[in-house]
Amino acid sequence: MNAVRMCAVAVVAAWLGACGWIRAQEEAAIRQLMEQLRSSDPLRRGEAARTLLQLAPQATAALPVFLEALLDPNEEVRQTAAEALVRMGPRIVPELVKVLEGPSRTLKRRVAVVLGQMGPNAKAAMGPLEKALQDQDTDLRAFAALALVRITPDRADLVPLLLPLLRDTDTGLRIALVYTVEPLAMRQKEALSLLEKALEDPAWDVRLAAAAALGRLGTTAKSAIPALRQRLQDEHGLVRISAISALLSIGVAPAELTPGLIKALDDPQATVRRAAVIVLQQAGQDGQAALPKLRHLAQADPDPVVRRVAQQTLEMLKQPK
């Protein structure tokens, strides 16, 4: 019996040693390919990236090397490492979750992005990602929110879970939240309601992002028409123009909105004049009332971009329909 046990122990030890050798060889090969990604030769970089992505699904033993590469100063190395991790699939999610609980802020952010790119394959990370919504790191909260949306976009309580971020003191996070929930608004009324709430944000750039998002949703955002009409009196010119553009996209008659665009052509801010000129293209033939002012802008506006877009809009509005 002792001889049998000793033999079994020897076999196991040999197997473990072989596994360790294989892992070391795999890590060495991956590191060599990562180094090739830093080459100045685009052909060598492309070859290395293709090989890494082909190896990735079977290279889970080299997971630490790919995680380390997420922190590499070279963008191509980071992007290839992220895609490789996505290709490894659900079996590495528990290890990625451990990173979310680790000390490195930068690595946690990048792992949150990877989990989001995995989509439904990362469902096992839902709990830790929800916890990350409370993290002190603003960027991690934003990436965790985006990951949650990508992993379970049909989750009924998703918008209520994210809503507290709209009251966060960080303006950038609130803007990120607008872009995060925008795709949800196609399927959830709660997400559309969140975008309407964002139209009342104290920061003009959050209101601007919300109006633009509602415009991209088109007729799906019909319920937001009253809230968008209120932004026609916004203190910031770009928000007013964005609200007009959104209302046009949703289907409000151009004749009603064109006067506001014509008035904005006299705005002292070049960015506002530029935006008004561009949105006039949405008004179609109803924008012809602006032709005299557009001619003036095309010839005499002090801003070269305004002159150029004014000429483009003139040509578009003059074309017969």
Concatenated DSSP letters of 226-277: HHHHHGGG-SSHHHHHHHHHHHHHHT--HHHHHHHHHHHTT-SSHHHHHHHH
In whole angstroms, give the CA distance from residue 292 to residue 283: 16
Query: Which of these, 72, 58, 57, 62, lies nearest to 30 by C-alpha position?
Result: 62
Predicted local distance difference test score (pLDDT) of residue 319? 63
Predicted local distance difference test score (pLDDT) of residue 2? 53
Predicted local distance difference test score (pLDDT) of residue 32? 87
Predicted local distance difference test score (pLDDT) of residue 7? 43
What's at 215, amino acid-wise? Answer: G
* Domain map (residue ranges) of the chain: 253-321
The number of residues in the chain equals 321
Give the pLDDT of the chain (321 residues) as one tens digit per residue. Answer: 455 444 433 333 333 333 443 456 778 888 888 888 888 888 888 898 898 888 888 888 888 888 998 999 989 989 999 999 999 999 999 999 999 999 999 999 999 999 999 999 999 999 999 999 999 999 999 999 999 999 999 888 999 999 999 999 999 999 999 999 999 998 889 999 999 999 999 999 999 999 999 999 999 999 999 999 999 999 999 999 999 999 999 999 999 999 999 999 999 999 999 999 999 999 988 888 899 999 999 999 999 999 999 999 999 887 654
What is the homologous superfamily of the domain 253-321 according to CATH? Answer: Leucine-rich Repeat Variant (1.25.10.10)
Predicted local distance difference test score (pLDDT) of residue 3? 54
CB 126 within 8 A of CB 151: yes
In whole angstroms, give the CA distance from residue 177 to residue 165: 7
Predicted local distance difference test score (pLDDT) of residue 219? 95
